[in-house]
């Protein structure tokens, strides 16, 4: 698991990280001046008892600061992102071993999925209930407009 932040400076996308992180850790992102590079660093703090990863956008002393898009990465790929974390705010990522399935349309694939229109209700599977894996099946219900996801434990 890694944490990182991105921001735009002079029309360029800048990055801080990603850096290796542990569940329960606390991080701070700072940028001393508008022209300096942002710094993301882990702070010495008690482990968050709920296992969340906390990243705080620390207000600078000499200017008003900027918003950051803060993300958690796994194997080098963006797993989840919170966009536009304001100065003085923080984001708490509470990662649970769950998968959600739904039928969508108008999906644009990139670093993250965007422009999703969910056309079914989401079905949640708690992966801790499936220690050997899960096989998910989608079937269309009679009448044609409804879909159902079902999960079967793998052995």
Tens digit of pLDDT at every position of the chain (155 positions)? 899 999 998 889 999 999 999 989 999 999 998 889 999 999 998 888 888 999 999 999 889 989 999 999 988 888 889 999 999 999 999 888 888 888 877 777 766 666 567 667 788 998 888 888 899 999 988 887 788 899 999 98
pTM above the 0.85 mark? no
Q: What are the C-alpha distances in Å from 74 to residues 36, 71, 77, 139, 152?
A: 28, 10, 5, 30, 26
Q: What are the C-alpha distances in Å from 2 to residues 7, 17, 46, 59, 136?
A: 17, 8, 19, 23, 28
CB-based contact 103:112 (threshold 8 Å): no
β-strand partners of 33: none
CB-based contact 152:125 (threshold 8 Å): no
């Amino acid at each position: 698991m890694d944490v990182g932040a991105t921001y735009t400076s002079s029309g360029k996308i800048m990055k801080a990280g990603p850096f290796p992180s542990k569940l329960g850790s606390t991080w701070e992102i700072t940028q001393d001046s508008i022209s300096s590079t942002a710094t993301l660093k882990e702070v010495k703090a008690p482990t968050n008892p709920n296992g969340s990863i906390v990243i705080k956008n620390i207000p600078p002393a000499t200017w008003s600061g900027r918003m950051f898009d803060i993300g958690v990465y796994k194997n080098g790929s963006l797993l989840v992102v919170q966009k536009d974390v304001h100065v003085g705010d923080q984001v708490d990522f509470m990662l649970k071993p769950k998968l959600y399935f739904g039928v969508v349309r108008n999906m644009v694939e990139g670093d993250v999925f965007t422009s999703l229109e969910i056309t079914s209700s989401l079905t949640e599977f708690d992966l801790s209930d499936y220690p050997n894996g899960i096989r998910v099946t989608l079937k269309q219900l009679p009448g044609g407009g409804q879909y159902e996801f079902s999960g079967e434990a793998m052995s």
